[in-house]
Amino acid sequence: MFLEQYIKPYRNYVSHRVKHSFYQALNQVNRLLVENEKIDWTVMEQIQSKLNAYLGILKHANSYKLVKKATTVLTKRFYCFFAFVKNYTKVAINKEF
């Protein structure tokens, strides 16, 4: 296992630990958005950096289906503040906010 991936000929699989941590991060973001009525700019940047770190790892593992399935967990309020860029490879803060 190298860089939290199982490297096989012609394909890479992400480890279960990274997958589980990504789901935990998404649940933490949901909890944060539901519990707090006002979201500070620094908190939004922290959420963005955390999700972009996981999306960068998952991008190299060619796991588009996993990311697409995992992001269905996110609340509708998430999309008021953030947007996905280029096939779920990056999270950006909405400029309208």
Q: What is the mean pLDDT of residues 5-11?
A: 85
Domain extent, residue 44, equals 5-93
Whole-model pTM: value is 0.88
**Which pLDDT does position 6 carry in this prediction?**
81
**Which pLDDT does position 60 carry in this prediction?**
86
Conformation bin of residue 6: beta by default, left when phi > 0, alpha when psi is -120 to 50: beta
Q: What is the mean pLDDT of residues 55-59?
A: 91
When divided into structural domains, the chain yields a total of 1
Residue in 60, 13, 69 with CA at minimum distance from that of residue 89: 60
Does residue 97 have a pLDDT over 70? no
Which position has the higher pLDDT, 11 or 65? 65
